[in-house]
Amino acid sequence: MTKQSRVLVTGAAGFIGSHTCDSLLAAGHAVCGVDNFRTGRLENLWSCSAHPEFVLREGDVAEAGELDEIVAQFAPSAIIHLAGLVSVQESIATPALNFRLNVQATHAIAEAARKRSVGRVVFASSAAVYGESSRQALNEAAAPCMPVSPYGAAKLASENLLLGYARAYGFTAICLRYFNVFGPRQDPGSQYSGVITAFSRCFMEGRSATIFGDGNQSRDFISVRDIARANLLGATLPSLPSSTLNVCSGRGTSLLELVGCLSAHFGGSAKAEHAPERPGDIRHSLGDPSAAKRILGFQTAWTVDDGLGELAQPAETLISPL
């Protein structure tokens, strides 16, 4: 990658995409954001819109030929592919849509990289590829990938597709397996939003949050600000090998512990009620972050408590949509 990279970001107006665009621009790179606005919101890009090195294109990356034209015009040195269906539950309800938005769209990315000689593709994968693994912490090389949902299966298929293209056509593929992401701009009103953001909105409004199951299930939570930095490193660090990397903190927090932490930030008012477990939900998820540290020099800078304190404030966090 050059000192100033040209980076195309799909899903740019989404939760993770908008933070990634912010990070790239702040680091001095030129950015082309692409979004079809199915779930992304233009207002998420308010801080990018006036930047001289940012351009926004409306488009559906899963539509044949549409991405190829955008890539030809912008000539990026790297693509960060964040667009896609983001919900395990929605993938179960609409598996054909999951295939189109997650697998078919990734194939379009791979084809555009091949045809237009893009040097690097960074892909937003997920810890869902591991499924219900008994291994703690999950290690990319050792933990088996046995997804339990169409969403996880699509992410794993997309990883393999990109890595195969990278080997065949000479570009670099960086597949980043995000764990449980939270932070500003995550839509608290959506049934698919992250548990931290949804809980925070409930407590801010004086309502009880709903825990699906007994609350002892645990997650490796990571701030979207750390995720954006991992995306930046993956797209712009020179001489990276094709890799599959966990992007996680390496620390687990149960949902009951989460409610306790949130209660401290909301003056002891946080309460939760329980509902039956949801199909496809994984009980425990904890990642091993050592490979990302070794290859990208990445480790988390934000703790869960830091992020909860931010979400407890009446700021952009809770009023900006996804």
- Which residues are annotated as catalytic? 151
Contact call for residues 179 and 247 (beta carbons, < 8 A)? yes
Q: Who's near 26: CB < 8 A, 6+ residues apart?
A: none
C-alpha atoms less than 13 angstroms from C-alpha of 191 in its C-beta half-sphere: 5
- Distance from C-alpha of 275 to C-alpha of 297, rounded to nearest angstrom: 40
- Distance from C-alpha of 285 to C-alpha of 131, rounded to nearest angstrom: 9
- Cis amide linkage into residue 113, ω under 30° from 0: no
Kindly give the residue spans of alpha helices, DSSP state H, lying in 170-210: 195-204
What stretch of H or E contains 120? strand 120-126
